[in-house]
Structures are given as C-alpha cells and as structure tokens.
C-alpha cells in the first residue's frame, strides 16, 4: 500500500513541532456540526430500546428515500430509492471500494490531476494502474480527455466542485466524460462531496443531471460537508443501478448497516430545513473573499468557485517546511494531490474566523518576505 497522505501529514506536523501556537490551515474538517434538529434526533433515537440491534444490511429504506427526494428537489435528478441509492460509511469508503468492484488486476483507473489524495488508494488495493487526465488553469480546469488512455480503462474519477482546485465543472465536462466512458467502456465516478458548497450564486450541478450519465456512472454524495457531519461517516453512491448493486454486494460481505439512530438523524438532516446548508455556504464564501483580499496582492489572481479550499502556487523559496517551522502555519502540501501538485499548497477555510485571520497574517508575512 502507498503511504496515506493525510495520515502522514499529521505525523509530519507532529514531529516538526510541539504543536504550540501552530495555526492549522491544512485540514478539510468542518469546524461546526449539524443543526440541533439533527443531533436531537440522534439523541432521542439512541434512547429507544429497539434501535441497538443490527440495522438492515442496505440501510433504512426511509433514508434512501430521503436522499432520493433531496436529489429531486435540489439537483433535479430522479433516483429510484431501491435500486439507485447505496448507503456507505462515508464517501471515502466508496472512493476506495468502487475500484474493487469496477477494476480488475491490470486495468487502468483514470484520475484527475490534481486529485483528492485518497483517490490512488483504490487502484492500489485493486491492483489497477493509474493514469491521469490533466486539469490546468490554462484550460479552464477542463479535463483533457484527449490525453487519457483508451484501452482497458475500468473507471474515470472526477470531482466537482473540486478538491483541491476549488472550481465547479466547466461547461461540457460531464458531457465529455460520458462520451469518453461510452468510447472506452469506463465507468464514471463523480465525487460530489462539496456539491452544495458553490459560491457567487452558482447552482449546485449534479453529474447525474446530464443526459446519459446514469448509463455510465455514479455520483458520491456525502453528509460530511453539506451538513458538518464528517465524524458521523455517512455517504451515498447513487446512479447506475448495476454499479450500485455491486457496491451494495461488497458491503453485504464486509459490514452490516450503519447504527440506526445515525440513519434517522441523517433523514432529519436531508428532509428537514436546509437553512444550515445555505449558512455554511455563505460562511465559506465570506472567508473565501477575505483570503482573496489578503493573498491576491501577494500571489496574483486566485480561483475559488466552491468547496472550502484555496489552491495556491507557492512563491519561490516558500515550502510546506518553511511555513511550518519558520512561520508556524500548516498548509496541505501540494505533492500529495498528484503530479501537478509540486510547488503548490491547499489552504482550508474550515477553521474559525480568528484562526483564519492569524493564518493569513503568517502566510502574508511569509509570502511578502519571499518577494
Ligand atoms: C473530494 C472529497 N471527496 C470525499 C471526501 C470524503 O468525505 P467523507 O467524509 O464522505 O468520507 C473528502 C473529504 O475531505 C473530499 O475532500
């Protein structure tokens, strides 16, 4: 197995410092939890006597129905709650395990570059090769499928709004992905973990709203970022019924359903008032504005259309280590995000305002000194 990026990042930070007065902008861990009606549902459900046995293998039908209804209302996508929705313990699990059900030994899995650092783990476990579809600012961050392989490709992973590039899907991206899948036989896996966190009045855009998407692929929806429930470990694989069945079958072998009170609280989150989702999005947009105000004069124009990250090119002479040891600010080093990541860093907005201000002060002084 390759090194696990986030695990080793925490180790690097711990060994380089005593942790005192360190400002951490390296982690994408939502800083606030879900609204009270969600935690109240969990507490009340956990106090019942009948919830502590094994939950149904494929989850509560009511939870699958709530997710399907949410997809209809928010993204205009119709899902069959029985055949087109699988419940998993977090989309990270789905990211890794989908490779096990899609790729045979020696097949290729195509990843975007830059990518979310957990993506190479699936191909490694499946014995699959990795190839890249480059994304570049010069090309509007549009995946260049003409540079992706066409033989023996099991799957192509995409992620919009994207971690780390923080862009939404450029026009034509999903259509091109479907055409590539049809031409090669690859499955499309669209990671929609930040789907609701889009700024400047943009509408969230599901891959499954594109005609033909369900014929070739699935989308991953997470409770973690929309609702601040990262620690709860609930995510969904939705779309193509055959792929949903495969991931369900793998799950039937590996685990039993998620603790019922957690599922009931997820229903409360998905079916209840959605103002917390909008508040979260507005908070990250406000912080995004603040980061751009401070850093653009030093680094030049930055892009952030959604998520809670900002992807920056580090000035000459500034590295993860110099930021950590000389300026006591942690960023996520770009190398872990794929071949194009060297010399870059990802900043997180998922910290409180005070931490962000202190981090910005330190980054600004580091970047200013490098000019
Ligand atoms: C792009 C992306 N996909 C998936 C995940 C994993 O989310 P989950 O908590 O649902 O496992 C993350 C977490 O940071 C992410 O950034």
CB neighbour class for 344 (10 Å; exposed up to 12, middle 13-18, buried from 19): buried
pLDDT in tens, 276-311: 999 999 999 999 999 999 999 999 999 999 999 999
- Ligand 1 site-directed mutation target among 30, 91, 95, 119, most atoms within 8 Å of CB: 91
Atom of ligand 1 nearest to the CA of 233: 9
Q: Is the pLDDT confidence value at 7 over 90? A: no
Q: Is the pLDDT confidence value at 15 over 80? A: no
In this structure, the residue with its CA closest to atom 16 of ligand 1 is 163
- Lining residues, ligand 1, CB within 6 Å: 28, 90-92, 116, 159, 163, 191, 193, 222, 224, 230, 235
349 touches 309 (CB < 8 A):
yes
What is the rounded distance in angstroms from the CA atom of residue 287 to the CA atom of residue 278? 14
pLDDT in tens, 110-128: 999 999 999 999 999 999 9
Packing angle, helices 260-271 and 61-75, rounded to 10: 20
What was the pLDDT predicted at 18?
A: 66
Beta-carbon contacts of residue 42 (< 8 Å; ≥ 6 apart) = 261, 262, 264, 265
Ligand 1 mean position to 101 CA, how many Å? 19
Question: Could you tell me how far CA 28 lies from the centroid of its own chain?
Answer: 9
182 touches 326 (CB < 8 A):
no
Ligand 1 mean position to 92 CA, how many Å? 6
- Ligand 1 site-directed mutation target among 67, 225, 233, 349, most atoms within 8 Å of CB: 225
Ligand 1 mean position to 119 CA, how many Å? 10
Ligand 1 mean position to 320 CA, how many Å? 22
What is the rounded distance in angstroms from the CA atom of residue 158 to the CA atom of residue 68? 21
Ligand 1 mean position to 223 CA, how many Å? 9
Q: pLDDT category, 17, cuts 50, 70, 90?
A: low
Interstrand relation of 235-239 and 85-88 (parallel, antiparallel or unpaired): antiparallel
DSSP line for 49-108: GGGSSPPPTT--HHHHHHHHHHHHHHH-----TTTSEEEES-HHHHHHHHHHHH--TT-E
Q: Please measure the distance between the N-terminal and C-terminal CA atoms of the chain and give it in whole angstroms.
A: 40
Handedness of CA 195, 196, 198, 200 (dihedral sign): positive
- Ligand 1 site-directed mutation target among 162, 193, 231, 233, most atoms within 8 Å of CB: 193
Atom of ligand 1 nearest to the CA of 93: 11
Cα angle 346, 352, 356 (rounded to 5 degrees) comes to 50
What's the whole-model pTM score? 0.97
Instruction: Using the structure block, give the residue that is written with the tokens 């680094």.
Output: 299
């Amino acid at each position: 197995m390759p090194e696990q990026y986030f695990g080793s990042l925490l180790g690097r930070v711990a060994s380089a410092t005593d942790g005192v007065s360190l400002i951490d902008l390296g982690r994408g861990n939502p800083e606030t939890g879900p609204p009270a009606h969600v935690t109240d549902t969990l507490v009340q459900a956990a106090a019942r006597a009948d919830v502590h046995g094994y939950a149904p293998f494929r989850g509560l039908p009511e939870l699958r129905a709530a997710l399907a209804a949410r997809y209809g209302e928010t993204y205009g996508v119709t899902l069959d709650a029985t055949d087109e929705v699988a419940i998993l313990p977090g989309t990270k699990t789905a990211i890794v395990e989908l490779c096990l059900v899609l790729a045979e030994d020696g097949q290729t899995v195509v990843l975007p570059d830059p990518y979310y650092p957990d993506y190479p783990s699936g191909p490694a476990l499946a014995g699959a090769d990795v190839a890249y579809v480059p994304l570049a600012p010069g090309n509007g961050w549009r995946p260049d499928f003409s540079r992706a392989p066409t033989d023996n490709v099991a799957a192509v992973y995409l992620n919009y709004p994207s971690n780390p590039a923080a862009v939404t899907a450029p026009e034509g991206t999903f259509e091109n992905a479907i055409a590539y899948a049809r031409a090669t036989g690859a499955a499309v896996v669209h990671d929609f973990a930040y789907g609701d966190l889009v700024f400047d009045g943009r509408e969230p855009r599901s891959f499954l709203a594109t005609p033909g998407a369900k014929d070739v692929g699935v989308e991953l929806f997470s409770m973690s970022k929309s609702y601040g429930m990262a620690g709860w470990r609930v995510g969904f694989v939705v779309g193509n019924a055959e792929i949903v069945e495969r991931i369900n079958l793998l799950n039937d072998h590996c685990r039993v359903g998620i603790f019922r009170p957690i599922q009931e609280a997820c229903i409360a989150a998905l079916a209840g008032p959605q103002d917390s989702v909008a508040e979260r999005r507005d908070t990250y947009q406000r912080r995004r504005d603040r980061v751009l105000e401070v850093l653009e004069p030093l680094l030049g124009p930055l892009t952030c259309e959604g998520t809670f990250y900002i992807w920056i090119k580090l000035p000459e002479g500034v590295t993860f280590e110099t930021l950590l040891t000389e300026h006591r600010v942690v960023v996520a080093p770009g190398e872990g995000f794929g071949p194009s990541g060297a010399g870059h860093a990802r900043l997180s907005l998922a910290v409180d305002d005070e931490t962000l201000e202190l981090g910005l002060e330190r980054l600004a002084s580091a970047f200013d000194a490098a000019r």
